[in-house]
Structure 1
Amino acid sequence: MKHSGIDYEAVFQALPAAAALLTTDLVYADVNEAYLRASGRTRSQIVGRYMFDVFPDNPSDPAASGTRNLQASLLRVAATGERDAMALQRYDVEDPDRPGRWEERYWSPVNAPVVDADGRVALVLHRVEEVTELLRARGGRFGGEDRTRALEAELYTRARELQEVNERLRRAHAREREVALSLQSAMLPAPGPLGRHRGAVRYQPSVGSLNVCGDWYDLAELPGGCFAVAVGDVVGHGLTAAGVMGQLRSALSAAVRVADGPAAALDALGLYARSVEGAESTTALQTVIDCDSRTVTYSSAGHPPPALLHADGTVEFLDRATDPPLGARFEHVPRIQAEAAFSEGATLVLYTDGLIERRREDITTGLNRLADCLGRHGQADPDTLADTLLAELIPPGGNTDDTALVVVRL
């Protein structure tokens, strides 16, 4: 590629640092000469192959975690579009000429996104410095061979200590994540019966150690042949957000059973949220479906609009009753609500922002993606449609935000 007379392909190959371009599926698209020298591989052995088929972890070292750590970083960059400078990694490399012989190596990786014209991550730039090779090659600069060996020994010791700390943190985070996911599962049970209507719910945790439990959903039967569906999103992640989520979900579920409509239920929730630390700026959406009049009455506290897929295949976003999030106003103001009609066979979809929002992308783009997916797959049963929405709209490497999803066939 050339621009303003600069041959960027030549620049890439001439970079003194080892660099590789990977697809978002972590397949090598290209590598520079420094990368080939550092890895001891030829271009044909690397380009077009999955990264961790070329460079697996040492199978004889049960503590090896280079593959796992690097893969998590690369997928995070692909999913979020954010640069990630990793801590020093021990990542042994197999001698290509002597299979089964592994060389102990230490690397300092930096991973960065390469975006296309639409702002989406098209490639991941993986730049790596091999610290072990650098020290051996520059021994004379440190004041003699003995000092070089001492520095190498100290570096190896510090690197091993850092690797052990990283592994302990990883195990601790994994345990905490299991606790958070168990708490989320207990707080968000499977929905009960909704009369003759079929519904499906999904909860997809974000990528990361504790980034779960901020979002919720709720379905409830009401008197008179009506039922209520709600979703919400607490600011923040982890166990603290899970506790707030549990309180707000329970409060709204109780309020909608006695309040005169969804706006009144959100009014009650807003007053309650003022006494709950961490509930500020929570978004929530409450709907009430009247099966006799075939209407959806709804009210939103700063939440993305539900999608109503009509029987003729058109998609209507219910956005005529949106107010600020909970606690965003200095004084309490009654909330508004609106109503939409539907015919038999329509589908109502409620969700949290993880389904549609992406960094550096207008929310309209995400809403259009959702509408397009519903238009193509809306006739599927709710369970199949819920799975399809997650598969098509969530990035392959996962998302940095939770996603709650409710699909109800009306």
Structure 2
Amino acid sequence: MKDTAIDYAAVFQSLPGMVALLTPELVFADANAEFLEGAGRTREQVVGRPIFEVFPDNPNDPSANGMRNLQASLNRVLDTGERDAMALQRYDVERAERPGEWEVRYWSPVNAPVLGPDGKVVLLVHRVEDVTELIRARGRPTGGRTRVLEAELYTRARELQDLNERLRKAHAREREVALALQAAMLPARPQVRHEQIAVRYRPAVGALNVCGDWYDLVDLVDGHRIGVSVGDVVGHGLAASCVMGQLRSALSAASRVAAGPGQALDVLGRYAHVVDGAESATAVTTFIDFNRHTITYSSAGHPPPVLVHTDGRVEFLDRATDPPLDAPPDPAPRVQATTSYAEGATLALYTDGLIERRHEDIYTGLDRLAEALRRHRTAGPEALADEVLLELLPSGGATDDAALVIVRL
């Protein structure tokens, strides 16, 4: 057996059930004979063409949503690199022999990734089971109890799909409210005297894992220092936005009166203990002194800020890191550290959505961020922020929201 080569093309054609292969651009790369027969298409009509060009929604049915649901599932697989089983779908198919005539069809789809050596999705396996007859069976007498039970099962699946659709719409409404609240609390233009600053916030794709990240910039009382902070609340949706707003406001107030960033985070950590939903929240804050050319910083479980010196040297500000805000049962004073810089250096603060990728070590993301900042360090803050997002965020959108603050020192 060790010397026997496996003909995977023959295996693919022999797979039980309707199976097709799609490229990341959602173009048919191949389809087995059972898929072509069940879909009523020839190989020439399918391979090399976009899936939704071959199988569009029924234009005669205003409620048709099979194409949208399938596209959402395929995009989830591309974004996460994980298998996605869909609920029962009604997805009508145009008769190939009678253009303009559509046949009501029901399908049970499963989409799975094929990963390349770099861990990226190189192909999508699209497997569907035609359950049209089982759905129709419920509406007429049948001779077998098993067939009736199967039809009942798929009908319940259809009802579950309708429930999921209602939940999706409810999540979408909550997401809109949460994003509006987030936008109101995170100004697009920093309200500080220092002008060489760019801020960016990119929400996650979909309703999950959105609206927990934040940033804040404040003028400190002596007039030649500013405080720059970012943070991350565990959770999603409107609840996370509300917790984010409380923590951001508390840190903003504490920074204005604290002796240093360590003391500001100490106050915030004590406050987080009495805020429901602040469990495991993280934050990092920096006090920038433009007269002394120093940055004093403190972190509560957050990824370290990145300082890019004018000669291209990259310094991670990681010498003052404590546990997340509410982690210590008896909060102790937070540590802080100070580093110096030359005029023209660049400081970047960010949240983990910018650097973390599924199935990838976090240090890979940190190295990628450092390299992007170093390579584009001569660009202005706005252009630099755009380049960093372009290089680090997935083209189809991230599964976690991301905040980024760039300060030219």
Normalising by structure 2, we get a TM-score of 0.90
Moved more, 395-404 or 67-76: 395-404
Deviation at 1:15? 0.5
- 1:234 matched to 2:260? The reply is no
Match of 1:204 in 2: 202
- SS of 2:215's partner is strand
Deviation at 1:33? 2.2
Task: Label 1:177 to 1:270 Cα distance change in 2 as closer, same or farther (>3 A).
Answer: same
Maintained 8 Å contact 1:108/1:129: yes
Distance 2:375 2:34 in 1: 47
Distance 2:147 2:191 in 1: 71
Deviation at 1:256? 0.9
Residues 59-138 of structure 1 aligned to structure 2 (within 5 Å):
59-132=59-132
Residues 241-252 of structure 1 aligned to structure 2 (within 5 Å):
241-252=240-251
Deviation at 1:271? 0.9
Distance 2:165 2:280 in 1: 35
Q: Deviations over 1:99-120 (max 9, x none)?
A: 3222111111111222222333
Residues 267-286 of structure 1 aligned to structure 2 (within 5 Å):
267-286=266-285
Match of 1:186 in 2: 184
Task: Label 1:408 to 1:49 Cα distance change in 2 as closer, same or farther (>3 A).
Answer: farther
Amino acid at match of 2:270: L
Deviation at 1:398? 1.9
Amino acid at match of 1:85: A
Moved more, 251-260 or 318-327: 318-327
Match of 1:28 in 2: 28
Match of 1:394 in 2: 393
- 1:333 matched to 2:323? The reply is no
Match of 2:215 in 1: 217
Structure 1 gap segments, 5+ residues each: none
Task: Label 1:69 to 1:346 Cα distance change in 2 as closer, same or farther (>3 A).
Answer: same
- SS of 2:247's partner is helix
Amino acid at match of 2:184: A
Maintained 8 Å contact 2:353/2:400: yes
Deviation at 1:348? 1.3
- SS of 2:296's partner is strand
Deviation at 1:227? 0.7
Deviation at 1:156? 8.3
Moved more, 349-358 or 22-31: 22-31
Maintained 8 Å contact 1:76/1:397: no
Maintained 8 Å contact 1:90/1:159: no
Distance 2:297 2:136 in 1: 68
Deviation at 1:16? 1.2
Distance 1:366 1:397 in 2: 18
- 1:19 matched to 2:19? The reply is yes
Residues 367-378 of structure 1 aligned to structure 2 (within 5 Å):
367-378=366-377
Maintained 8 Å contact 2:111/2:124: yes
Residues 135-146 of structure 1 aligned to structure 2 (within 5 Å):
143=143
Maintained 8 Å contact 2:89/2:107: yes
Structure 2 gap segments, 5+ residues each: none
Amino acid at match of 1:61: D
Deviation at 1:19? 1.7
Distance 2:98 2:368 in 1: 50
Q: Deviations over 1:65-94 (max 9, x none)?
A: 111111111111111122211100111112
Amino acid at match of 2:72: A
Maintained 8 Å contact 1:176/1:210: no
Maintained 8 Å contact 1:369/1:393: yes
- SS of 1:380's partner is coil
Amino acid at match of 2:241: A
Task: Label 1:376 to 1:98 Cα distance change in 2 as closer, same or farther (>3 A).
Answer: farther
Maintained 8 Å contact 1:199/1:382: yes
Task: Label 1:47 to 1:342 Cα distance change in 2 as closer, same or farther (>3 A).
Answer: farther
Deviation at 1:131? 0.9
Task: Label 1:342 to 1:9 Cα distance change in 2 as closer, same or farther (>3 A).
Answer: farther
Task: Label 1:171 to 1:193 Cα distance change in 2 as closer, same or farther (>3 A).
Answer: closer
Match of 2:380 in 1: 381
Counting aligned pairs with the same residue, the percent is 68
Moved more, 235-244 or 386-395: 386-395
